[in-house]
Amino acid sequence: MERILVTGGAGYIGTHLVEQLLSQGHFVRVIDNGTFGLSGLRPFYGFNRFEMQKGDIQITAHLRKAVNNIDKVVHLAGIVGNPACSFDKDICNEVNVVATKRIFDVAAKGNVKHILFASSCSVYGYGDEVFTEESKLNPVDYYAETKVKGEAIAQSYQDDLAVTLCRFSTVFGASRRMRFDLAVNGMTASAVNRGKCVIYGGQQW
C-alpha cells in the first residue's frame, strides 16, 4: 500500500482518481480548498484509507501537513482554462506557478519519492502535426504559459524526486464534480437539452 496525496482531489479529475486509488488498496489524502465544493468526495468519507484535508496549496503550513508520511503526490490543483486564468493573471500565477514551486519544495524536503504534475496539451499551441513529447512547446494563452512554467519547475526537481509530467488533452464525461465548460460536455448537454450542438470552426479533430 502506498500513501498518496492528491492536490485538488475534489475536482473533476480528482474525484475519479481518488476512487481508483482507493479501489487499488492505497491510502489517499486529499488537500483541496473547496472552491467548487467537497461533496464529490462524500462517498469516501467512511473509508479508513481516506483522509480529507481542507487546505490551500498556497499556504506552506498546509502543504507540510499534507505531505507528512506521504510516498507520492499527484498535483492536480490549479486554476484551469484560459478564461479563468485571464480573468486575474496575478492570482493565476500565484496558484499555478508559485504554489507549484512551493509544493515541489515541500515535497523534496520531506520523504516524498514521486510527483505527477498535471500539465496540459495546450502547451503545444496550434499545429497540424501530431504532437509528441519531443514537440516544441508553443503556448498561445496565459493558462498554457503557466503550465509551461509548472513543467519547468517540476523538471528542476528531478535530482530530488521522480517526476512525471502528464499533458492532458480535452477531458470529458461524467464526474462527481461535473463541468460543462468542457467542449465535449458542452456539446453533449446542448444536444440533449436543445436538440443540437454548435461546433465553432469545424476543422478540429
Rounded percentage of the chain residues whose pLDDT exceeds 70: 100
pLDDT value, residue 45: 95
pLDDT of residue 156: 98
Nearest to 73 by CA among 121, 110, 41, 38: 110
The pLDDT-based confidence of 198 (bands split at 50, 70, 90) is confident
In this prediction, residues 84-98 reach a mean pLDDT of 95
Average pLDDT over residues 157-180: 91
Enter the pTM of the model. 0.92
Q: Which amino acid is at 154?
A: A
Domains and CATH numbers, the chain: 3-169 (3.40.50.720), 179-205 (no CATH)
- Is the model's pLDDT at 179 over the cut of 90? no
